[in-house]
């Protein structure tokens, strides 16, 4: 619901069985959302909020959340502070994080997305994390410890991407799926380095690559260079890696904006890799439906 509608429906009303709430409004200039006027929502497990200014959050307003997505929200620390230990999914977009030395413990967190968020990752303890996506203005920060359970990593970067083979191998030793949205020169440099180090990232099976949104596609020459380095790597390793270009053969791992997830009430941050359906098979399916077969 929009910000103004949420005020009318939620203020001074009780919602004892509400489990999921989404508030999004980018048309009001610095709207202030008065959490303090809300009654308790004891069953709430998922909260997605975008483009609002939040005032002080009373401890009774929310229980410990499992899913939290915030985009361009000010004073968000009041929203997140009671859910560190229960969150399984956390997505933050365009937030300012104060510079402190406090370590933040997220023992249950499995999915993390940081878009245009800095000064946070190195302070997070996320031992159960399996999927991590980051993008835009992401500084070269590392988690406080290696993450052996992490199998999917996505990076979106308009400019120089901050990743390399050595860093990935040290931080995510069991990485299986890697999605990159950046310029061709950076992808080629990474693949060339990877082909010369067959022992690095031994579990990497899928590399999905493409330009940042709206950037078109790679040239034929760039693709040939990437394919050749993948072939060289596969000749020297026991785990064969598949190179996926956007729109070719497979639905790529997709890194999107958190605010899209909030607005559309669904996740576009990742998609299942699968082969596109064969055109003949698709035509047969359509004809079968039309004929009632």
Whether residue 277 lies inside any domain: the answer is yes
Whether residue 161 lies inside any domain: the answer is yes
Long-range residue pairs from 162-166, CB within 8 A, at least 24 positions apart, any chain: 162/138, 163/190, 164/190, 164/193, 165/190, 165/193, 165/194, 165/197, 165/200, 165/201, 166/200
Token readout for 118 is 């800095």
Split into its structural domains, the chain has a count of 1
User: What's phi and psi for 191, nearest 5 deg?
Assistant: -65, -35
Q: Which residues pair with 213 in a beta bridge?
A: none
Which of 23-27, 228-232, 289-293 bottoms out in mean pLDDT, i.e. has the lowest? 289-293
- Model pLDDT for residues 199-240, shown as the tens digit of each residue: 999 999 989 888 876 566 789 999 999 999 999 999 988 889
pLDDT of 231 reads: 94
Which of 16-30, 119-133, 136-150 bottoms out in mean pLDDT, i.e. has the lowest? 16-30
Whether residue 233 lies inside any domain: the answer is yes
Strands, E, within 151-245: which ranges? 152-156, 177-181, 206-210, 242-245
The pTM of the full predicted model, rounded to 2 decimals, is 0.81
Contacts of 83 (CB under 8 A, 6+ apart): 62, 64, 65, 66, 68
pLDDT of 2 reads: 65
Whether residue 168 lies inside any domain: the answer is yes
Whether residue 72 lies inside any domain: the answer is no
Task: Name the residue range of residue 211's domain.
Answer: 144-291
pLDDT of 13 reads: 72
Q: How many CB atoms lie within 10 A of CB 43?
A: 12
- Model pLDDT for residues 230-266, shown as the tens digit of each residue: 999 999 888 899 898 865 444 445 455 555 555 554 4
pLDDT at 40 over 80: no
Query: CA nearest 23: which of 250, 262, 215?
Result: 262
Handedness of CA 117, 119, 122, 125 (dihedral sign): negative
What's the distance, CA 113 to chain centroid?
Answer: 4
Whether residue 276 lies inside any domain: the answer is yes
C-beta separation of 153 from 179 below 8 A: yes
Whether residue 30 lies inside any domain: the answer is no
pLDDT at 106 over 70: yes
Whether residue 6 lies inside any domain: the answer is no
Best-predicted range by mean pLDDT (22-31, 70-79, 192-201): 192-201
Token readout for 132 is 């991590």
- Model pLDDT for residues 49-60, shown as the tens digit of each residue: 877 666 555 555
**In whole angstroms, what is the distance from residue 29 CA to residue 127 CA?**
39
pLDDT at 155 over 80: yes
What is the percentage of the chain residues whose pLDDT exceeds 90? Answer: 24
**In whole angstroms, what is the distance from residue 221 CA to residue 174 CA?**
31
pLDDT of 285 reads: 44
Token readout for 274 is 């699968």
> At which residue do the structure tokens 């993948």 appear?
230
């Amino acid at each position: 619901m929009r910000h103004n509608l949420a005020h009318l429906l939620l203020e001074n009303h009780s919602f004892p069985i509400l489990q999921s709430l989404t508030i999004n409004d980018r048309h009001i200039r610095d709207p202030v959302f008065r959490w303090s006027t809300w009654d308790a929502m004891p069953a709430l497990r998922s909260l997605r909020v975008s483009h609002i200014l939040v005032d002080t959050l009373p401890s009774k307003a929310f229980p410990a959340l499992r899913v939290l997505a915030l985009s361009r929200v000010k004073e968000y620390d009041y929203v997140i502070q009671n859910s560190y230990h229960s969150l399984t999914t956390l997505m933050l977009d365009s937030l300012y994080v104060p510079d402190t030395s406090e370590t933040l413990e997220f023992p249950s967190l499995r999915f993390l997305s940081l878009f245009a968020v800095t000064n946070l990752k190195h302070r997070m303890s996320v031992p159960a994390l399996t999927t991590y996506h980051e993008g835009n203005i992401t500084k070269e920060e590392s988690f406080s410890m290696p993450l052996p359970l992490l199998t999917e990593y996505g990076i979106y970067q308009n400019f120089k991407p901050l990743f390399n083979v050595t860093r990935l191998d040290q931080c995510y030793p069991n990485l299986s799926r890697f999605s990159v949205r950046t310029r061709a020169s950076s992808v080629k440099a990474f693949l060339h380095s990877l082909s010369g180090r067959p022992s690095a990232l031994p579990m990497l099976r899928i590399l999905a690559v493409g330009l940042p949104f709206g950037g078109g596609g790679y040239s034929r020459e760039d693709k040939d260079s990437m394919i050749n380095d993948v072939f060289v790597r596969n000749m020297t390793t026991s785990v064969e890696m598949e190179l996926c270009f956007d729109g070719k053969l497979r639905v790529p791992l997709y890194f999107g904006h958190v605010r899209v997830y909030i607005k559309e009430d669904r996740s576009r941050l990742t998609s299942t890799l699968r082969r596109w359906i064969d055109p003949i098979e698709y035509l047969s399916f359509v004809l079968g439906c039309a004929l009632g077969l």
